């Protein structure tokens, strides 16, 4: 489980989750034994060196190639990882995970088209999951975000960043504190990263948010044999919540590769200031033998503590949890932050500003690795998370997002990233954000057309007037999704769900003088029940003609999409006329119109044998308007229709 949920994380974030220490050694091992030992201990840099010698043969073992690729991936040598994954997947005995990792490493290098293709090939061979669907959505959205970046302006804080790792900065009244790797001579190195164990630093913070004069802190809370940090502080800066690698003797002992290891999880330690000293308290829900707890963040009122943990009862590998802090200082029991925030992937590095939770995730649709999201709400009640887009996010890991100033004009803060172009393995960036003057939101509810049931996990896509995808995501448990809009745009909204007919709405340009939310409803027709009939609305033909007009083609495109999304669906497409004109003429015309519609759908790549074209003329009127009876034009129009009947599903 550990290795599974550490996937897609940068080495610094990975090193925060667990540590291994040799308890009992063995005699000088063989090259293979050494490689396996390093790999088991997560010492990927060392493992890669040995595996390189093992695969330097005419017919190397597939497992050695896979572990070499994985090792390069974990130490962020993505080009080398891509090279070895590409070789591995050509082998018949390749682990399915290698196929998925190949897609991941392509995505983390910003090769979105290639990554999307690989995700689809994996799904075709091994089946899909919500994580895979989100990964594909992320590749689509990433290309949009790159073309249309947000108004965030990022600056690498060169005054404190080094060739090593610096991350997880927290602003304080006197400056800032952050986590960094000291100079090697100051302490032992981590076998996982090959770098010194993390320590807490202070820095000066200036009016323009620049940082300078980093200095390792000498306080008692910065003393440990292993990693220390990140840090969270209450408003008064009298209480610190510090993540540390457990350094005691209660760690679980594991036998692997002929040796015994101590698996040392994270613990959350509370330090309270008393005069000039810090008194240490244990967080009551640490359980170092079973799981990790860390990455703390306090709500604005200091009454709720959020944290990341892989404790039992979560949704994925690492979830965000919270505890309420009583007026008497007692802790409430840990509660999961809920399905809006947590996924089957990993969620971590929470922070709070006002009524908004910021966090990083590998499970929600993103650009690659950890992406930064925000969600309004508190405890376990949150709105749908919003990806902050590019340049806040990148194909690499982006995390530890904090806001220290927010007003009507914009906001300021910091984030951490191991993106290309940085100084070290992880760098701290400051950001400024200029808010748009007017906010326009489009909120769509997706329902079953017949039953009015709210449809969760329906895919809703937003396109501009040129057909370019702007955003795509799934509805929440209430069948609702919200998009941020730019004013003055004509938009197309398309809803899809397996087992349903896709539906499209056109949104006319919205001119607003203040923040506005537009509410629309997409009603999807079920196509799962054999014998079910429904009218394909807004299919019009010129008088006495059967050729497909451009406006009719737009409607038929919805049927094309539905047939593609539901490969077992077979239909009868029938055309009907009103009672005016002779019976024979109407029968012939309706057959030609039905056939023309089917021919159009076939031209769009749908197999002809999945459709039956049938013209019924005036033989199936839906009202009283038979031959010779005077009726209104509206009544006649009801009989002129194109109808779909489900023949098989």
Domain ranges of the chain: 2-145, 154-434, 440-524, 533-648
Q: How many CB atoms lie within 10 A of CB 622?
A: 12
Banded pLDDT at 186 (limits 50, 70, 90)? low
Q: What percent of the chain has pLDDT over 70?
A: 91
Q: How far apart are CA 390 and CA 393, in angstroms?
A: 5
pLDDT for 250 equals 57
Per-state percent for the chain, helix, strand, coil, to nearest 5: 25, 35, 40
Residue 3 clears pLDDT 50, i.e. is over it: no
**pTM (predicted TM-score):** 0.65
Do residues 418 and 76 lie in contact, with contact meaning Cβ atoms separated by under 8 Å? yes
**Across residues 617-625, what is the average pLDDT?**
92
User: Once rounded to an integer, what is the mean pLDDT over residues 496-501?
Assistant: 92
- The pairing of strands 570-576 and 259-274 is unpaired
CB atoms within 10 A of CB 10: 26
CATH number for 2-145 (one of 1.20.1540.10, 1.10.230.10, 3.40.50.720, 1.25.40.10): it is 1.25.40.10
pLDDT at 294 over 70: yes
Q: d(Cα 198, Cα 427) in Å, to the nearest integer?
A: 14
Specify whether the CB–CB gap between 287 and 249 falls below 8 A.
no
Whether 197 has a pLDDT exceeding 90, the answer reads: no
Rounded to 5 degrees, φ, ψ at 517 are: -120, 125
C-alpha 22/C-alpha 345 separation (Å) is: 30
Q: Is the pLDDT of residue 601 over 70?
A: yes
Q: Which of 300, 297, 349 is nearest to 323 (CA)?
A: 297
Q: In angstroms, what is the C-alpha Rg of the chain? A: 30
pLDDT at position 438 is 80
DSSP 318: B
Rounded Cα distance between 78 and 72, Å, is 7
Which pLDDT tens digit goes with each residue over 396-433? 999 999 999 998 789 999 999 999 999 988 999 999 99
Cα atoms in the Cβ-side hemisphere of radius 13 Å centred on 80: 17
- CATH number listed for the domain at residues 533-648: 3.30.1330.60
Question: What is the C-alpha separation between 584 and 45, in angstroms, rounded?
Answer: 80
* Per-residue model confidence as pLDDT tens digits over 80-138: 999 999 999 999 999 999 999 999 999 999 999 999 999 999 999 999 999 999 999 99
Please identify which residue in the block is written with the tokens 């201990």: 41
Q: Give the range among 145-154, 412-421, 511-520 with minimum mean pLDDT.
A: 511-520
DSSP 325: B
Q: What is the pLDDT of residues 304-332, one digit of tens each?
A: 999 999 999 999 899 999 999 999 889 99
| pLDDT, position 486 | 81
Tell me the mean pLDDT in the region 40-59: 92
CATH superfamily of the domain spanning 154-434:
Glycosyl hydrolase domain; family 43 (2.115.10.20)
Asked whether the beta carbons of 558 and 636 are under 8 A apart, the reply is: no
The mean per-residue pLDDT over the stretch 555-566 comes to 90
| Whole-number pLDDT of residue 9 | 36
Local confidence band at 4 (pLDDT 50, 70, 90 cut-offs)? very low
The residue-averaged pLDDT of 547-554 equals 88
Per-chain mean pLDDT for the chain? 89
Q: Which residues of 177-205 are buried (b: 16+ CB within 10 A; e: fewer)?
A: bbbbbbeeeebeebbbbebbbbbbbbbeb
* Mean predicted confidence (pLDDT) in 50-69: 95
Count Cα neighbours of 571 within 13 Å in the Cβ-side half-sphere: 30
Residues 468-482: what's their mean pLDDT? Answer: 95
pLDDT tier, 444 (very low <50, low <70, confident <90, very high otherwise): very high
605 vs 539, which has greater pLDDT? Answer: 605
Let me know how long the chain is. 649
For residue 358, report the phi and psi dihedrals to the nearest 5 degrees: -105, 140
- Note the pLDDT of residue 5: 31
pLDDT at 576: 93
**pLDDT tier, 75 (very low <50, low <70, confident <90, very high otherwise):** confident
Q: What is the pLDDT of residue 184?
A: 64
Task: Give the β-pairing of 516-524 and 440-448.
Answer: parallel
User: pLDDT confidence of 179, banded at 50, 70, 90?
Assistant: very high
Complete DSSP assignment for 164-226: SBEEEEEEETTEEEEEEPPPGGGS-B-TTTSSBPPEEEEEEE-TTS-EEEEEE--SGGG--SS
The sign of the torsion formed by the CA atoms of 111, 114, 119, 120 equals positive
Q: For the chain, give the percent of residues with pLDDT over 90.
A: 69
Write down the architecture of domain 440-524 according to CATH.
Sandwich (2.60)
């Amino acid at each position: 489980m550990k290795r599974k949920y550490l996937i897609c994380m940068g080495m610094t974030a990975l090193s925060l989750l667990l540590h291994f220490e040799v308890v009992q050694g063995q005699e000088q091992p063989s090259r293979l034994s050494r490689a396996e030992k390093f790999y088991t201990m997560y010492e990927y840099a060392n493992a890669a060196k040995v595996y390189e010698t093992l695969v330097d043969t005419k017919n190397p073992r597939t497992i050695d190639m896979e572990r070499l690729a994985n090792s390069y991936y974990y130490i962020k040598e993505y080009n080398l990882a891509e090279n070895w994954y590409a070789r591995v997947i050509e082998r018949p005995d390749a682990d399915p995970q290698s196929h998925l990792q190949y897609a991941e490493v392509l995505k983390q290098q910003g090769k979105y088209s290639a990554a999307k293709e690989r995700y689809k090939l994996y799904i075709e061979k091994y089946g899909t999951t919500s994580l895979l669907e989100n990964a594909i959505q992320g590749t689509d959205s990433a290309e949009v975000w790159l073309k249309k970046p947000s108004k965030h302006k990022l600056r690498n804080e060169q005054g404190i960043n080094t060739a090593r790792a610096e991350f997880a900065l927290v602003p304080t009244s006197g400056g800032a504190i952050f986590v960094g790797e000291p100079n090697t001579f100051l302490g032992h190195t981590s076998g996982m990263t090959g770098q010194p164990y993390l320590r807490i630093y202070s820095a000066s913070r200036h009016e323009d948010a620049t940082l300078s004069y980093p200095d390792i802190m000498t306080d008692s809370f910065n003393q440990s044999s292993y990693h220390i940090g990140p840090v969270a502080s209450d408003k008064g800066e009298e209480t610190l919540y510090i993540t540390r690698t457990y350094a005691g003797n209660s760690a679980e002992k594991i036998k692997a590769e002929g040796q015994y290891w101590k698996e040392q999880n994270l613990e959350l330690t509370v330090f309270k200031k008393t005069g000039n000293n810090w008194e240490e308290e244990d967080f009551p829900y640490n359980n170092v033998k079973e799981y990790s707890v860390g990455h703390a963040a306090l709500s604005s009122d200091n009454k709720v503590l959020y944290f990341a943990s892989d404790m039992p009862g979560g949704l994925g590998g690492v979830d965000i949890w919270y505890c309420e802090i009583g007026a008497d200082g007692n802790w409430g029991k840990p509660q999961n932050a809920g399905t809006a925030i947590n996924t089957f992937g990993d969620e971590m590095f929470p922070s709070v500003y006002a009524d908004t939770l910021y966090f990083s995730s590998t499970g929600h649709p993103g650009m690659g690795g950890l992406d930064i999201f925000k969600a309004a709400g508190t405890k376990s009640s949150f709105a749908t998370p919003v990806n902050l887009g590019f340049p806040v996010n990148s194909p690499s890991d982006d995390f530890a997002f904090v806001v220290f100033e927010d007003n009507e004009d914009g906001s300021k803060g910091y984030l951490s990233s191991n993106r290309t172009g940085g100084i070290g393995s992880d760098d701290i960036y400051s950001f400024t954000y200029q808010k748009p003057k007017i906010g326009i939101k489009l909120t769509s509810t997706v329902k079953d057309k017949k039953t009015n049931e709210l449809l969760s996990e329906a895919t809703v896509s937003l396109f501009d007037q040129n057909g370019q995808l702007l955003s795509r995501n799934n509805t929440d448990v209430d069948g609702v999704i919200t998009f941020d809009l730019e004013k003055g745009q004509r938009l197309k909204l398309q809803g899809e769900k397996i087992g349903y007919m896709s539906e499209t709405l056109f949104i006319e340009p919205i001119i607003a003088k203040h923040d506005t939310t537009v509410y629309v409803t997409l009603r999807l027709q079920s196509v799962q029940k054999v014998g079910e009939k429904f009218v394909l609305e807004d299919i019009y033909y010129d008088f006495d003609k059967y050729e497909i007009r451009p406006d009719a083609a737009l409607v038929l495109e919805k049927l094309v999409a539905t047939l593609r999304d539901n490969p077992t669906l077979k239909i009868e497409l029938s055309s009907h006329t009103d009672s005016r004109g002779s019976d024979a003429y109407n029968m012939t015309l309706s057959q030609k119109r039905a056939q023309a519609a089917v021919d159009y759908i076939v031209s769009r790549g749908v197999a002809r044998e999945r459709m039956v074209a049938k013209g019924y003329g005036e033989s199936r009127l839906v009202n009283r308007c038979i031959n010779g009876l005077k009726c209104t034009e509206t009544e006649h129009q009801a009989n002129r229709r194109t109808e779909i009947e489900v023949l098989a599903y």
